[in-house]
Structure 1
Amino acid sequence: MSINVNNNNVSKPLVDNQKLQQQQGQSTNQAQAQQASVAQTAARSDSVSLTQSAQQLSQLHKKGSEASTVNQEKVDRLKKAIQAGDYKVNPEKLAQNIAKFESELFGIK
């Protein structure tokens, strides 16, 4: 047995098909827009770039690791001369060698 609380037997109106289609179209458009946004975000990638100084440091490190073996006899001779106070520095020659080293290091001629 069924009880009718509202005492009306009027059936609910049917949903307008055109409105339904519009709502579904809007939902579809929103979903597509969200998918496009996600695709754009996923397409981005991280990148790293080194500064010129870091690149030069890397080149210097490579050159240092590729350098020939140390002339231990010359190192010992210089140590003894420095300890004895006999080692004299020629400032002009030192300045020329520093300038030459920097020009080679930075590619300046």
Structure 2
Amino acid sequence: MRNVTTALEMVNMRVSYQVDVHSRESLEFYSRHHDAQKDRAAVRAEIEVLRRERLAYEQESMETRQALARSEAADDLAVQHIMRIQALEAGARVDTLEDTGSSS
């Protein structure tokens, strides 16, 4: 009977040790898992910030391109007006020279 009791005590000690080891491994796994979840959440938040910044830069870039196109169109219009004014001035000079030449 003593051998059976000793054997049972040994089994109980082994089971107790295994339960303790598994409990520690489980706690360590849970801790690692929890840390990984926090890390993933932080990375997701950082990605979301970067996405918002990229969208803002794209919007700003589009607005800049539109402003540049408007500016170039305004420059083209100004050049056309200057050329028209110069043509009118040249025509006026020719008319003045013709009037002066015909009255002599």
Q: TM-score, normalised by structure 2?
A: 0.41
Higher helix share: 2
Structure ID, larger Rg = 2
